[in-house]
Amino acid sequence: MKVLVTGATGFVGRAFVAQLVARKYVEVLALTRRAPADPVAGVKYFWGGDVSSQTQWQSALAGVHSLVHAAARAHILDSTDADQLTEFRRVNVTGTLRLAEQAAVMGVRRFVFVSSIGVNGSQSQIGKSFSEDDQPSPHSAYALSKLEAEQGLSDIAAESGLEVVIIRPPLVYGLNAPGNFGSLMRAVQRGWPLPLGSVRNQRSLVALDNLVDFIVTCITHPQAANQTFLISDGQDLSTTELVRRMAQAAGVSARLLPVPVWALQAGATLLGKGDAVQRMCGNLQVDISKARSLLGWAPPVSVEEGLRRAMAL
């Protein structure tokens, strides 16, 4: 069975490709923007620039059974909100749908789309987790582009018979995690004092190995076809507890200052970082009961083990 992966050099895509190769029961193909600097042994690579309405994928799609689409435009600097939405749509919507259309024509059976929990919203209500049945409430241009891609994929599935699986993960953590979480990991490893000792929220996260395992499940499980799934580690943590566990995993002392959340928010807003603090201190919980009941899936890696792997020096 051939499995084609986009975004194969990214944080999630590379780990997924490596896991497929390790399992030795599929032929792994990878689509990248350019030739990879450190290719995974046993993988056949195709590269052809950006994902867009003009990209031709046919040569890579020939004979493919399942396609995992992990490529996306996630960050845009120095542009207006309108410009950001236009660029997100160019890659995350138009490019994704062109890929799906060509996949359907080439006889690909299943299209697994790595979306975002941002489609549900930026915060869940206290005591109420997000679920697949919630009305979408995207909180950013990026999340809106993911929702529009999901809707377009559903239309293509209905018209062509292509099986589409949509996965909406929350924040993904692991070794060499990018972004704000990676910065937090490095701060904890270095023993820096952090003003996060009074955060009493609850947040769902997903270890990279758990997300990869779930994607592997979705490429073949018959009950996954044309379904949307929310996943996580199955254990929610406050930001304060998360930092404590990160420090424990790294073998260092957690240096947490008990700064009130309102003070954190006020200071961050003055510095133009209010959204980052909201993401770190707000609630965001997801219900993974659908993945458990429909697919029989359970996270293979505990939070403790996930953090140990992430914090490995």
pLDDT over threshold 90, residue 294: yes
CB atoms within 10 A of CB 61: 22
Q: Are residues 125 and 271 in the same domain?
A: no
| List 25, 45, 142, 173, catalytic entry | 142
| Structural domain count, the chain | 2
Binned at pLDDT 50, 70 and 90, residue 214 comes out as: very high
User: Which whole number is the average pLDDT over 289-301?
Assistant: 98
pLDDT over threshold 70, residue 167: yes
Asked whether residue 217 is assigned to any structural domain, the reply reads: no
Q: Whole domain around residue 255: which residue ranges?
A: 179-201+237-281
State residue 312's pLDDT score: 84
Binned at pLDDT 50, 70 and 90, residue 76 comes out as: low
Asked whether residue 208 is assigned to any structural domain, the reply reads: no
Kindly report, residue by residue over 230-254, the tens digit of the pLDDT: 999 999 999 999 999 999 999 999 9
pLDDT over threshold 90, residue 150: yes
**100, 148, 153 from 157: Cα distances, Å:** 9, 14, 6
Q: Are residues 256 and 114 in the same domain?
A: no
pLDDT over threshold 70, residue 82: no
**17, 75, 107, 114, 161 from 31: Cα distances, Å:** 11, 20, 18, 15, 23
- With the C-alpha atoms ordered 218, 220, 221, 226, is the resulting torsion angle positive or negative? positive
State residue 11's pLDDT score: 93
State residue 277's pLDDT score: 77
State residue 160's pLDDT score: 97
Q: Are residues 133 and 264 in the same domain?
A: no
Asked whether residue 84 is assigned to any structural domain, the reply reads: yes
More reliable by pLDDT, 72 or 114:
114
**Choice among 47-51, 119-123, 151-155, 160-164 with the minimum mean pLDDT:** 47-51
Query: H/E element holding 47?
Result: strand 44-47
Binned at pLDDT 50, 70 and 90, residue 53 comes out as: low
Active-site residue flag, 173:
no
Q: Are residues 105 and 188 in the same domain?
A: no
pLDDT over threshold 60, residue 78: no
pLDDT over threshold 80, residue 48: no
More reliable by pLDDT, 282 or 113:
113
Q: Are residues 153 and 189 in the same domain?
A: no
Residue type, 223: Q
Query: For 54, phi and psi rounded to 5 degrees?
Result: -100, -10
Distance (Å, rounded) from C-alpha 310 to C-alpha 175? 4
Q: Are residues 151 and 247 in the same domain?
A: no
Q: Are residues 21 and 70 in the same domain?
A: yes
pTM of the model: 0.93
| Of 173, 176, 197, 198, nearest in space to 186 by CA | 176
| Beta-sheet strand order (sheet of 27-32) | 44-47, 27-32, 2-6, 66-69, 110-114, 163-168, 227-230
Q: Which residues of 109-122 are buried (b: 16+ CB within 10 A; e: fewer)?
A: bbbbbbbbbbbbbb
Asked whether residue 308 is assigned to any structural domain, the reply reads: no
Q: Are residues 79 and 192 in the same domain?
A: no
Q: Are residues 162 and 183 in the same domain?
A: no
What CATH number does residue 10 fall under?
3.40.50.720
Distance (Å, rounded) from C-alpha 123 to C-alpha 88? 22
Q: Are residues 109 and 73 in the same domain?
A: yes
State residue 37's pLDDT score: 81
State residue 237's pLDDT score: 95
